Amino acid sequence: MADPDSTTAPAVNLDVAEHFREAADLLEAQDASPFRVRAYRQGASTLSQLDRSVEAIYEQEGRDGLEGLPNIGVSLTNAIVEMLQTGGRWRFLERLEGTVTPESVFRQVAGIGPELAERIHDQLDIDTLEELEQAAHDGRLDAVEGFGERRLQTVRESLESKLRRRRDGDADVPVSELLDVDREYRRKAARDELRRIAPRRFNPEGEAWLPILHTERDGRHYTALYSNTARAHELNKTDDWVVLYLEDEDQAQWTVVTEPSGPLDGKRVVRGREAECRRHYER
């Protein structure tokens, strides 16, 4: 429900503010840091009382204009920009609600709309941006209806930009930290100490089976969940593969698995950072 004192606020501000309140309520219910909960509620209050639309601010002043608002800052600015660019969708809120799908992930890529995102997932059986990038370069994406050379090039460029930022941010987060978050998640999940959400995918009975953890390391905010992808279900890895989301300005993502063979056999490994994990275990 909109803030009763916000009658002068533009509709887009009220919509974003409502999303922030929903996130705050879910974070509180999922035992997240009270400081994060408060940040979203304060951000919602700011937007509900702002008589200038966040859309106009972003168009005229860019991100700096949004970050300069009281109680907003970098993380909430990321959320606002995402909602403005996607017609109100916000992946972080979808994760909290258990409704995130590969289609919603693909729709953040320039050139891919809702129908095309669903077609990519159904035809290629892929779930992540990394898999989409591989398909864009190995010829599989070309075979999906709706892709011409111009759209394919647009998708490749968008993926390169998004994944480069993600990979550049990887170096700032040590694997020891990621493995520690993974360890905390699996320990608490095994002890049934975590709130559970009901994912929309592969859950026809709507059971709240998926544990979710919100935790912090050195000021970085993480969300951790077991993988609920088609591949994880196919290989019976829904109680092994853990997806970690860095929910701050970098918005990075990693998957941690138990290595099935080789020198790291039986150890927890961050995919894509195997060499660093080997050095970590050799210390």
Query: Residues near 280 by Cβ (< 8 Å), separated by ≥ 6?
Result: 175, 176, 179
* H-type alpha helices, 71-174: 73-86, 91-97, 102-106, 114-124, 129-138, 149-170
Q: How far is CA 171 from the centre of its chain?
A: 19
Instruction: Kindly state whether residues 188 and 267 are assigned to the same domain.
Output: yes
Q: Is residue 70 part of a domain?
A: yes
Instruction: Kindly state whether residues 197 and 244 are assigned to the same domain.
Output: yes
User: What's the pLDDT score for residue 167?
Assistant: 62
> Identity (one letter) of the amino acid at 276?
E
Instruction: Kindly state whether residues 43 and 130 are assigned to the same domain.
Output: no
Instruction: Kindly state whether residues 55 and 20 are assigned to the same domain.
Output: yes
Instruction: Kindly state whether residues 53 and 149 are assigned to the same domain.
Output: no
User: What's the pLDDT score for residue 166?
Assistant: 64
Instruction: Kindly state whether residues 200 and 276 are assigned to the same domain.
Output: yes
**Residue 241 neighbours by CB distance under 10 Å:** 19
Q: Is residue 258 part of a domain?
A: yes
Q: Which helix (H) or strand (E) holds 175?
A: helix 175-190
What tokens were used for 23?
A: 């996130």
Q: What are phi and psi of 211, to 5 degrees?
A: -70, 145
Q: Is residue 94 part of a domain?
A: no
**Residue 13 neighbours by CB distance under 10 Å:** 26
Q: How many domains does the chain have?
A: 3
Specify the CATH number for the domain of residue 82.
1.10.150.110
Q: Is residue 97 part of a domain?
A: no
Q: Is residue 96 part of a domain?
A: no
pTM over 0.85: no
Domain boundary among 88, 111, 129: 88
Instruction: Kindly state whether residues 182 and 266 are assigned to the same domain.
Output: yes
What tokens were used for 200?
A: 């929309």
pLDDT digit string (tens) for the chain, length 283 residues: 444 444 588 999 999 999 999 999 999 999 898 999 999 999 999 999 999 999 999 999 999 999 999 999 999 999 999 999 888 988 889 888 887 677 777 887 888 988 898 889 888 877 778 788 889 988 899 989 999 899 999 999 988 887 776 665 565 799 999 999 999 999 999 999 999 999 988 889 989 999 999 999 988 999 999 999 888 898 999 999 999 999 876 678 899 999 999 999 999 999 888 999 999 999 8
Instruction: Kindly state whether residues 196 and 258 are assigned to the same domain.
Output: yes
What tokens were used for 14?
A: 């009220």
Instruction: Kindly state whether residues 216 and 266 are assigned to the same domain.
Output: yes
Domain boundary among 88, 116, 143: 88
Specify the CATH number for the domain of residue 152.
1.10.150.20
What tokens were used for 244?
A: 């970690």
Residues 282, 156: Cα–Cα separation, whole Å: 37
Instruction: Kindly state whether residues 110 and 143 are assigned to the same domain.
Output: yes
Tokens 């996130």, residue? 23
Domain that holds residue 51: 11-88
**Spatial contact of 152 and 120, defined as CB atoms under 8 Å apart:** no
Instruction: Kindly state whether residues 35 and 65 are assigned to the same domain.
Output: yes
Give me the long-range contacts of 15-18 (CB less than 8 A, separation at least 24).
Answer: 15/83, 15/88, 16/47, 16/54, 16/79, 16/80, 16/83, 17/43, 17/44, 17/45, 17/47, 17/48, 18/44
Q: Is residue 83 part of a domain?
A: yes
Domain boundary among 170, 194, 213: 170
Q: Is residue 21 part of a domain?
A: yes
Tokens 């089976």, residue? 209
Q: Is residue 239 part of a domain?
A: yes
Instruction: Kindly state whether residues 154 and 190 are assigned to the same domain.
Output: no
pLDDT tens digit sequence for 143-162: 899 998 999 999 999 888 87
Q: Are strands 242-246 and 253-258 parallel, antiparallel or unpaired?
A: antiparallel
